[in-house]
Amino acid sequence: MDVLLLEKALLGLFAAAVLAIAVAKLTGKRFRLPPGPSGAPIVGNWLQVGDDLNHRNLMGLAKRFGEVFLLRMGVRNLVVVSSPELAKEVLHTQGVEFGSRTRNVVFDIFTGKGQDMVFTVYGDHWRKMRRIMTVPFFTNKVVAQNRVGWEEEARLVVGDLKADPAAATAGVVVRRRLQLMMYNDMFRIMFDRRFESVADPLFNQLKALNAERSILSQSFDYNYGDFIPVLRPFLRRYLNRCTNLKTKRMKVFEDHFVQQRKEALEKTGEIRCAMDHILEAERKGEINHDNVLYIVENINVAAIETTLWSIEWGLAELVNHPEIQQKLREEIVAVLGAGVAVTEPDLERLPYLQSVVKETLRLRMAIPLLVPHMNLSDAKLAGYDIPAESKILVNAWFLANDPKRWVRADEFRPERFLEEEKAVEAHGNDFRFVPFGVGRRSCPGIILALPIIGITLGRLVQNFQLLPPPGQDKIDTTEKPGQFSNQILKHATIVCKPLEA
């Protein structure tokens, strides 16, 4: 813990002590709490543990304190679950009791204190938002209607890489082109629109605003103000920056996308895209206009970014494992024939490609702690008392990478999903592997993410030998963990050497 942070803690100590004593006298409850490190008065475990609560640090604590443990982070109770049995209890068996969401000072700003779907508490508003979003986004019909568009966007990526001479020699940062693809995949569904190129000014404006949102929300730097509320004055500049950014993003969503669909819908009455469905719900009084904009906010982050991270991780692992890349290429040729492009219906006939996708989601889980859960009322878990409004983290990455539960867990080995783990699927039929969560608050975007990842990786492997840049044996896969995310630290330069037809 650095000196500046310690000074901040001491500045708030007296006021926090008074508050803690008052709360203790008012509540007066005695709990049988989960085990955990002994903490200091007021600040709890904060000075011991620090702000960086990433999946690997929490795995280390789980090895010391067990499959469920408690961290007292100032005024926050943080309960960490690290076994499949307790993950099932939180996500499924007691899905209602632990079905709410906890936010923090930054996510309160970006979600309007839960006016969206992802971060709202479990209740009527969440049920309404989930219902309104399911039909236009999360059904097999949506996949059937949009798969040709996804395949077209993947084809254009391949074409652009083949047309770039640097791609086959020095290499390019493929992520930059894949980012455009992901925006087009989602904006086709959402607004019946696409961006023409990576030079599109509106695309670059939107990309920059969303990138800043990601940096501000995923940072651990603001945790002290969430854990110790009396220290929030030190966050004033940071939170003002978040507020200003949210205003800018919402204005771009409104001016360039939502209003255009609203005018078209009023003119023709024809429902052409997801936003038209959502605007119809607003017209009927089911949601308000802020809810409409927060749905756009969710899709910009939860659908676009997380899928892009997974594709980027998958590419990195294929570059670093050329034998797996070649085996995948051979499967595609054997099943589809030489020169036949992978399409969405083909994925079920390509088990090794499916295994590569699952292994990417296992080893390099984009949301390793899932989105945090919360119990609105006092609850029980594994015989322990869980105080109301505790933040519940399921360390899904540890469940999927625990060497006690997986053979050679630290290896990128897609074969496991064809051999000893062949019955395990990404939708959570086994609580050791829940990359999208399970139950009421699971990520419905799985129905879009899996085919997009499969199509993209399949098309790239079909068309290119994917290599590290000249002079390197491998590309760097150092992680960059965030509040909920697990991104690759350095966006890799990859050589895309075209294969002979």
List residues forming the annotated binding site for heme. Answer: 443
Phi, psi angles (nearest 5°) of residue 73: -105, 85
Phi and psi torsions of 341, nearest 5°: -70, 145
DSSP SS3 for 86: helix
CB atoms < 10 A from the CB of 201, how many? Answer: 8
DSSP 421: T
Tokens of 157: 């990526």
Phi-psi region of 429 (alpha: psi -120 to 50; beta: other; left: phi over 0): alpha
SS3 480: strand
Torsion sign across C-alpha atoms 336, 339, 345, 349: positive
The two tokens of residue 440 are: 């009421």
In the numeric block, which tokens belong to residue 348?
A: 């079920």
- CA trace torsion 417, 422, 426, 428 (10° rounding): -140
DSSP 489: S
**Residue written as token pair 């629109």:** 193
**Strand residue runs (E) in 217-257:** none
| Structural element, H or E, at residue 460 | helix 446-463
Residue numbers in the known binding site are: 443
- Taking the C-alpha atoms of residue 93 and residue 128, their distance in angstroms, rounded to an integer, is 22
Q: Is 373 helix (H, G, I), strand (E, B) or coil?
A: strand
Question: What are the backbone angles phi and psi of residue 115, rounded to the nearest 5°?
Answer: -85, -5
